[in-house]
Amino acid sequence: MPEARLQALIFDVDGTLAETEELHRRAFNLAFADAGLDWCWSRDDYRALLKTTGGKERITRFSAAQGLDPAAVPVADLHRAKTAAYVALMAQGAVALRPGIAELMEQGRAAGVRLAIATTTTPANVEALCRAVFGQAMTAVFDVIAAGDEVAAKKPAPDVYLLALARLGVAAEHAVALEDSQGGLRAARGAGLACVVSPGLYTGGEDFTGAARLVDEFSDLGGVAGLAAVLA
């Protein structure tokens, strides 16, 4: 049976598990205001900045675009403040899982499929999301967490997916990645993974050539059986 080949589902977080990117944008702006900066990222600004993976990297890119020396900008402090603002917004219940995600996870567990995270965001943000939408710690929800700060290069480099596979002890041909962005797709494919893409709020219209399947919502996949068919 093709289901026997599927041993792991590896989820991106922002835009995939939940439509969190808008919360991130709001949190960045709160951190900037608290620091006395007149920076305010619009949705169009943030869509462009998302082409750079990693929050600290986005702050660095933006400060350079403003003609500032990034070395003189307190990037780490701003990012810590942004993370705190994001966690606070998340705790207010400002986000929900995307359609189909809960069902895929439930069916996966029932079938003995392991669940993992491969993300450029911080473990603190993953923890906040899990507490908000599952009411549990991330380690109680996912078998493996692989985060961007643990690898040398963030998406679209494959490093974080390779780390997730190593921690799972699963070969790439027995796992499926779930993503919302071109950068995430490139990272998954670079690690040898089949990747299913459902574009998010900020990623519609990107080039998803190479996706095993492209769907409007993950609920369109036909559950774990549909994902297993991707590997058949």
212 close to 176: Cβ distance less than 8 angstroms: yes
Residues 6+ apart with CB under 8 A from 87: 124, 125, 128
Residue 190 sits at φ, ψ, to 5 deg, of: -65, -25
In the residue annotation, 14 being an active-site residue is answered as: yes
What is the spatial distance between Cα 129 and Cα 102, in angstroms, rounded to a whole number? Answer: 13
Query: For 60-99, what is each residue's pLDDT tens digit?
Result: 999 999 999 999 999 999 999 999 999 899 888 878 999 9
Question: Are β-strands 144-147 and 175-179 bridged in parallel, bridged antiparallel, or unpaired?
Answer: unpaired
Amino acid at 98: R
Which residue in 14, 38, 143, 207 is the catalytic one? 14
Q: Which domains does the chain have, with CATH numbers?
A: 2-19+96-231 (3.40.50.1000), 21-91 (1.10.150.240)
Per-residue confidence band for 2, with pLDDT thresholds at 50, 70 and 90: very low
Which residue in 12, 149, 207, 216 is the catalytic one? 12
Residue 154, classed as helix, strand or coil, is coil
What length does the chain have?
232
Rounded average pLDDT over 12-30 = 95
Amino acid at 198: S
Give me the torsion for CA of 52, 58, 61, 62, rounded to 10°.
Answer: 130
In the residue annotation, 12 being an active-site residue is answered as: yes
168 close to 143: Cβ distance less than 8 angstroms: yes
Query: For 99-132, what is each residue's pLDDT tens digit?
Result: 999 999 999 999 999 999 999 998 988 999 999 9
Examine residue 99 and say whether the peptide bond preceding it is cis (omega within 30 degrees of 0).
no
Q: Average pLDDT over the chain, rounded to whole?
A: 94
What is the spatial distance between Cα 146 and Cα 224, in angstroms, rounded to a whole number? Answer: 22
Q: What pLDDT is recorded for position 232?
A: 81
pTM assigned to the model: 0.88
Q: What pLDDT is recorded for position 91?
A: 85
